[in-house]
Structures are given as structure tokens and as C-alpha cells.
Amino acid sequence: MTLPYIDLLLKQIARGHPELERSFGRHIHWGYWPDPAAADPTSAADYGQAAEGLSLELIALADIRPGMRVLDAGCGFGGTMACLDEQVGGLDLVGLNIDPRQLARGASLAHPGPGGRMTFVAADACTLPFADASFDRVMAVECIFHFPSRAAFLAEVRRVLRPGGVLVLSDFVPAPAWVPVTRLARSPWFDRVNLFGSCDVTCSAAGYRRLAAAAGLPVTVLRDITRHTLPTYAFLGQMLKASGRRGVAERWGKAGLAMLDFVGRTGLLRYSLLRFERA
């Protein structure tokens, strides 16, 4: 399965696109601005720093220490792994992705520091090719909504985590009143016309707590950080304008971004960080 936005990103990067390299060349996720009012939507460097900021928030939540073995599921270009190697160091890092093209770029960018190790594995996050109890931490940055099943992923993470192990992830979590609307958006037709491909954002906070308890991996932190991610939409709007797209593509793009901004601001869809702990 390939995702349209990833195809587009890889194509543009291969053609040579310095702005895209700076903004999405290392991380393929939303930005985190500690002070959203200070964001500069015209600056790719500002966006790249905010994308790094999101990885740092999740790394802090995961409480990762030197010597640990860490799995980054849905690792993209390995940006969170690189950030972990630079910030913590001395880690055995494994990046997993369903798309070998992203892993090849991740491997070419990976330069682990002294005592650090990085390996890249092509597989589906819902069938992890690893032994039971073989990781201290698992991360899944802004990707679980693409996985075939949250329940299957959580069960696999529970299996590969050592006792006391931790999973952290980020996801778009709908308010209870918005869940029926997110279910309406689950259709093969919408998956085909939508730049983001197949996305399941139907899991509410209560849904997460239920799934996690059933998997034996209870939720211990659920933090709504939407406010800190909102400048992402203004930046993507600038990128759309600069791309020269006109007509239907531009109108769809603008409408999609305005809708995401609206559901974020109104609390209908909450960009959230979650931590789960294996007893």
C-alpha cells in the first residue's frame, strides 16, 4: 500500500526541493510550537524545527534512557530515531515501515553516534517480526490511523514490550460527538480521492482506554496538544500556494486544510499524545 502524500513527497524530494527538505525531509508529521503565536507560516526552517519539537515531546513522554532497545513503528524517514540518537544516545533503535522507499531514505540519512545502533525493517506494524519481550519502548508517531487495526497493533506492542515497557504515540482523537462524522468518512471512495489515503480517525479517548485495557496495555497519559499544532495548517496553506496548483486541486486542498483547522480549533478532533504501560 502506498499513500498519495508520501508518493508526492518522495517525488518532489527526488526532483530537488530545498523547502520540502527543510520542512518534511526528516519528519513526516505535524509541527509542535511551544508558543503557537510565534510560529512563522512562511518559513520551512520554522516548520522543520516545530516537527523536531513534536518528536521531542513524545521522546520526553516515553522516558527513554541510554542502553534501551526502542522500536519506532511507522518510522517514516527515521527522523524520530535520529532525534533520539542525538538527544539520548547509546540506544539500539529499530525503525519499521511498510514502505521500503522510506526505509531506504532513512538508512541513507542515519549516522548513529558512538554506542548507538540503527536498523530498518520492512513490515506491517500489525504483524511485528520481533521476539516476545524484546523492546523497552515502542513509539508510533502520527501513523496509527493508517494501520489496518489499532487493536492488532496494541496486541503486538504488548507482546514485544518487556514488563514495565512503555508505548507512546500521537493521534487525531475525535470528541465523542464527532465520532459518527469520522465514521462517515471511512469509505473506499474517500480513501481514493483523499491526499492522505486511508485514515481511520474514529477512535475516541474512551475508545482508546477500552482497546488499551483489552490489550493489557492501559493508557496512563492522554494529553491534548492541538493548540500547539495548529500553525501546521497555515504552513501547509503556504506550501499549497507556492506549489502553483490551481483549479480543483487548489480548491480541494484549501477546503481540506480549512476543515482540519476548524475541527482542531473547536475541539472536535484533538491532536493527542498518549502513553501506555505494560504491567
Ligand X SMILES: C[S@@+](CC[C@H](N)C(=O)[O-])C[C@H]1O[C@@H](n2cnc3c(N)ncnc32)[C@H](O)[C@@H]1O
Q: Cβ closer to ligand X: 191 or 218?
A: 191
69 contributes a contact to ligand X by CB under 6 A: no
Q: Cβ closer to ligand X: 24 or 208?
A: 24
Beta carbons of 91 and 119 less than 8 angstroms apart:
no
Q: Cβ closer to ligand X: 5 or 218?
A: 5
| Pattern 132-171, ligand X, x by CB under 6 A | ---------xxx--xxx-----------------------
| Pattern 198-227, ligand X, x by CB under 6 A | ------------------------------
Taking the complex as a whole, the smallest distance from the CB of residue 246 to ligand X amounts, in Å, to 26
Q: Cβ closer to ligand X: 144 or 217?
A: 144
How distant is the alpha carbon of residue 72 from its chain centre?
A: 10
What count of Cα atoms within 13 Å lies in the side-chain half-sphere of residue 144?
27
Pairing mode, if any, of strands 117-122 and 69-73? unpaired
Which of 25, 31, 48, 76: binder of ligand X (CB under 6 A)?
76
* DSSP string across 113-170: -TT-EEEEEE--TTS--S-TT-EEEEEE-S-GGGSS-HHHHHHHHHHHEEEEEEEEEE
Interface with ligand X: number of residues (CB under 6 A): 21
Burial class (CB in 10 A: 0-12, 13-18, 19+), 191: middle
Cell numbers linked to 90: 547509546
Taking the complex as a whole, the smallest distance from the CB of residue 28 to ligand X amounts, in Å, to 4
22 contributes a contact to ligand X by CB under 6 A: no
What are the CA-CA distances from residue 163 to residues 135, 209, 217 (Å)?
9, 19, 10
110 contributes a contact to ligand X by CB under 6 A: no
124 contributes a contact to ligand X by CB under 6 A: yes
Which of 25, 31, 48, 79: binder of ligand X (CB under 6 A)?
79
Using CA atoms, how far apart are residues 207 and 215, in angstroms rounded to an integer? Answer: 12
Using CA atoms, how far apart are residues 221 and 226, in angstroms rounded to an integer? Answer: 15
Which of 62, 75, 169, 201: binder of ligand X (CB under 6 A)?
75
Write the single-letter amino acid at 210.
R
Taking the complex as a whole, the smallest distance from the CB of residue 65 to ligand X amounts, in Å, to 21
Taking the complex as a whole, the smallest distance from the CB of residue 185 to ligand X amounts, in Å, to 17
Which of 81, 84, 98, 161: binder of ligand X (CB under 6 A)?
98
Q: Which residues are CB-contacts of 115 (< 8 A; sequence separation ≥ 6)? A: 66, 89, 90
Closest C-alpha among 85, 74, 93, 96 to residue 27: 74
Which of 9, 23, 25, 29: binder of ligand X (CB under 6 A)?
29
List the beta bridge partners of residue 96.
73, 121
Q: Cβ closer to ligand X: 149 or 218?
A: 149
Binding site for ligand X (CB under 6 A): 6, 27-29, 74-76, 79-80, 97-99, 102, 124-125, 141-143, 146-148
